[in-house]
Structure 1
């Protein structure tokens, strides 16, 4: 199992409460296998005690074949206590199964690795099967043993060997269901060993199968497989060059956006992060679609990132910004996937979006209020600083009259509505904070 090397920040009690509230690990459990969930659980060490995390790790993997790992966790959790008798029996059974599968596949693997066979095999799977059956007695039963051993090795935690075995099986098998299962196992192995280019190749193979117009299965089955694919893809996109651009393209495609809305609205967090992290031109291009998606799912799912989009582009409840920006920063630092990014740059981009909206709604604002809006005492005015003139304890804002005439009219109308609402609230004491409270996670 690959260790998470990112150093987690020391959090205050308030930050821990925020992190626990918006932790998505419980959501991911139903769409990842145990081995892929493990690094997410391991990442919780900054918001739970080491014993709590170790207990979660033990409960997660005790049903696998990773006996050495399970023993270590048991000894840490229950010092001086003997392993349960059923575990000893299971360990013996695992060792016996390993020996049987190793013996059953060794000759097949030796033949497949030989130079003569390698030179004789072609791109035609039917020809290869006939050739191996006729000349080397490798039949369907022998091919199936490769799958069984690959699955066994994956469950045992030997991911490199598992990947090779499952790949050999897939090259010869005509069983489409088992080939699909082998591909899921192979992509998991590549993710865990951080072989990102190979993982991306497997991701594309899965997409070809799942998105095929002649997909063999029900619409619900296809929806479930897309949901799994979305969760698997996060590991790859957040660790690959230009990965977030690929994430945006995939998640905004109609079939995958509808899957997110139907099955996993919490994935909007990562779509928002990807859009915020993108270049300004691409960000503006995608922002309207992003706002619409957040609005549609607002009744179903909310977190600091979706709330930020709602505040900046839908309801303009800027008095909520200080708390939401604080939450955005905490979640960015502790979320397993987002923490792989340059979170300081991400937060700076989020501050830039805040300043753009403030610049459209105000002509003058106190420096103190602006600091609160962006949750930053240093008041670094990021990318829009040319529109802000700091004079003592006030900031004068000059609007950037750019874009089409339509866009200028739209922005001015929006600002006028904001001011009108403010006047009505002040005059009649109308409480504008009737928004839905964020859904508590875990």
Structure 2
């Protein structure tokens, strides 16, 4: 009975979103921007209630023994709610992604052809422990004229309910259609599975979370899925690298925030600079409490300088730790680094640190950029920049690691499709 109730709830919310999507597609940019501004104001007006609901989620998560890195993803305070509101206002400032003429031409028969951007329709987002996704997804969907069906994880259930209720009520009060933002309250797996079956009602499903969630959606969904992949990101320090620059990049990529998908999870170091670089970088990481899963060569260098490591296993090379842990491996140049990244990486974000002003460094950078298969490839910068806001795209639903339709930060343009509009004066085809 509980499972049937969950499925019925999903169908009701999805069908309401389908009805809303038609009206949303007809709204003007000014109307949608006014709704976003109202949603931002409503978040600010309800900070105490949102933070209180989140506090109950955090308390329950801690009581269940949840890792602190995941608690960090879950937690909302005044500053984080303000950041959510500011992100909605940032969307207001962005250009309208709808109604853009992407191509125009006059055909041989005199028909005027335009290709025009339009909403996808109903976007379902299935996510886990980050309640800020509720606001980001709702905002980006509304800005792009899409209805949103949101299904968060059980850990953030109270937080998501508080945020979604505030956002929906503010949007409707400002003139958006009822059902434009729907939250599936049930955290039963049957609810997510039902969403995946609603082909023809849901236009696209976007999973945002761990590898297990994403794999389940890809394997089981009848609705088209856009993967926002896990982030086993690498930083490769080339033989020509400026070691002080490399130290700063490694620490930032790993330690800025542990529980995010653009954090570095593996450090690859050219054997030519292992003796010079590893004692510096590994000491930096250990000072910050990072556990070092080192291969034999890296472990030997670390031991010679009194730095504690643990032996790396094959599983470590594929691990997305989302925690103060990192795998460390020495490689014999850019070819081995690229091979390792392409074997174990998740096609998210990869970085090389090398000197672009010397031939060997420049060649290594260009080889790395050309051959690494990832949504974002960096030369001499931290992987932490893979983010819609940092790319100037505004809020994002996630980082797409697939190649069809969208890749990288999944922002406004990625939530549109297009239609061909043809204007004639009586032409008929022979």
The TM-score range, normalised by the shorter chain, is under 0.3
Higher relative contact order (CA 8 A, sep 6+): 2
TM-score, normalized by length of structure 2? 0.26
Larger Rg: 1
TM-score computed with the length of structure 1 as normaliser: 0.25
Structure that is richer in strand per residue:
2
